[in-house]
Chain A
């Protein structure tokens, strides 16, 4: 159904995507330059004997971080998108307010507290962190999915029904394409805050870029903190750009 829309996707969107992909490759190269970081951080903090976090390489930490973010954001999308769709359907409309309140609560509840609660149940490591981040990131995905679907013009829906489209077809051929921009904005927000918040995962031993930050605080070495924080910030910006360019590919420029 979207054949017309796809062919209209301008070259510009692909070029933007290519630029973002090159930036991602540059980032990957950068985190692998352990020696380079050591020299930079050493120059910035000449007082520190050990200017770089010794327990793991930056590349390892960044990879762990990506795994935590990937799993939790993946779960957020896997649950959040269908949930958002469901509460705008006839069958789920009654649950709209409850779900909205629940995801709102999920975001206002501090992730660090979720970690503390989940630890006795899920133990130490990756999984309590994934649960905390999953809940934390759910709100923007669900609320934007709902907002995007509710903003689809009523007359377009009436016409779609009137010409004989079934409910499933209306969802996939009309509603979701028209809501993509708003939904993508929610996904971008969710992933960005997830990358930042995932640094707390280190508190339960899940690793990632939070490790040098927490380690740096403990041994009072600001070089470690900067190493973790700077990389996490770069990663968040990069992820946002990549998603923005994906949005450019998914959403035709005329919308």
Chain B
């Protein structure tokens, strides 16, 4: 748990952070957001003492961060930044091993850990371990940055726009992966961004700042539905309903029993699979989505093989971990009323329809209000 109590940072006459009080429960993601110069990065950097507060008190797990040396403190707090800051003269493995080496881990343990982390961030250890930072793409470098921050398994992670320097597509993929990793590791994370959608997607709670002052500290839902003032209202933007969709994962809404056939199936099995359906998905022997078969055509006498439309799954399906917003966007783009959900290698997991999204939005208010009640409960305890 992290507690900031009346924290202020002044640079001469300018107040960068003004009397900030904030509490982040263990295992939660707190996103600091606000316009440039609102003090979010300064706040983050005060937690690992890269910036020393002018006044106030910061506690990590109950102990004042000023009570031990800054260097020692930082070794137990993961740190990932927008510019990544990989060390150009060290290999990827050497970069990830930085903190474990500082902590004096044994060589085999470090090697094991590096491989584990590369796996975790979705990069092949054999291929990437010996690469140098300048051989990496922007997205790969940011993954390594996150892996380095996680290296010594710190309970607390500070991330300053860690996905800021990549293209939007890569950013979405990295966000989905971060969400997955966080579900697994349950770190306490302070995450700085200026991207509202990113905040809504990743945060358990959002701290919206302006001119060094905290405007509101709430769950994304509460921020959207009950903005504390006009600034919060305007900052969250006009597309509230869409932003809410950004909070819900397709995995929570999809129907897992999508009708499907294998492309190797016999003709009569293909026909039988249609039933009263308008179309069924077609997968290969590994379950990877190949396309769909038009049942109306089949019923009209077309040979099943001829009725199959083949597509690239990356373009016509949403990946597990995506938000309803992305699913809706894909449906609109393709002009379909439903869309397939696949895993990272394209295997069909299920299907999500426009009707599912609608019902989530209406009846689903309770569905989405849930985290609010939970965190409200934790706050009072």
Contact = CB atoms under 8 A, between A and B. Distances in A.
Interface of A: 1-5, 8, 153-166, 169, 174, 177-178, 252, 254-255
A252 B99 contact: no
B90 interface: yes
B354 to A, nearest CB: 44
A239 B60 CA distance: 56
B74 A178 contact: no
15 contacts: A3-B94, A4-B90, A4-B91, A4-B93, A5-B90, A156-B86, A157-B85, A159-B85, A159-B87, A159-B145, A162-B79, A163-B79, A174-B89, A178-B89, A254-B132
Contact of B71 (A154, A159, A165, A252): A165
Contact of B134 (A1, A163, A254): A254
Nearest to A176: B89
A179 to B, nearest CB: 10
B79 A159 contact: yes
B240 to A, nearest CB: 36
Nearest to B103: A164
A139 B66 CA distance: 42
B72 interface: yes
B88 interface: yes
B79 A166 contact: no
Nearest to A169: B102
A159 B74 contact: no
Contact of A178 (B50, B73, B88): B88
A137 to B, nearest CB: 27
A163 B76 CA distance: 8
Nearest to A173: B87
B90 A161 contact: no
Most chain-A CB neighbours within 10 Å: which of B77, B84, B85, B135? B85
Contacts of A4: 90-91, 93-94
A166 B84 contact: no
A162 B88 contact: no
A174 B94 CA distance: 12
Nearest to A157: B85
B84 A159 contact: yes
B85 A166 contact: no
A160 B102 CA distance: 11
A163 B148 contact: yes
Nearest to B78: A163
B48 interface: yes
Contact of A164 (B84, B89, B102, B158): B102
B86 A161 contact: no
Interface string B74-113: 1111010101111111110110001101100000000000
B287 to A, nearest CB: 39
B74 A162 contact: yes
Given A155-B83, A254-B132, A162 B48 contact: yes
B72 A164 contact: yes
The 8 closest A-B CB pairs, nearest first, are A159-B85, A164-B74, A164-B75, A155-B83, A162-B79, A4-B94, A155-B85, A4-B91
Given A254-B132, A254-B134, A164 B86 contact: no
B84 A252 contact: no
A154 B50 CA distance: 14
B102 A163 contact: yes
Given A4-B90, A155-B83, A162-B74, 7 more contacts: A4-B93, A157-B85, A160-B85, A164-B75, A165-B98, A169-B102, A174-B87
B87 A160 contact: yes
A8 B77 CA distance: 30
B73 A164 contact: yes
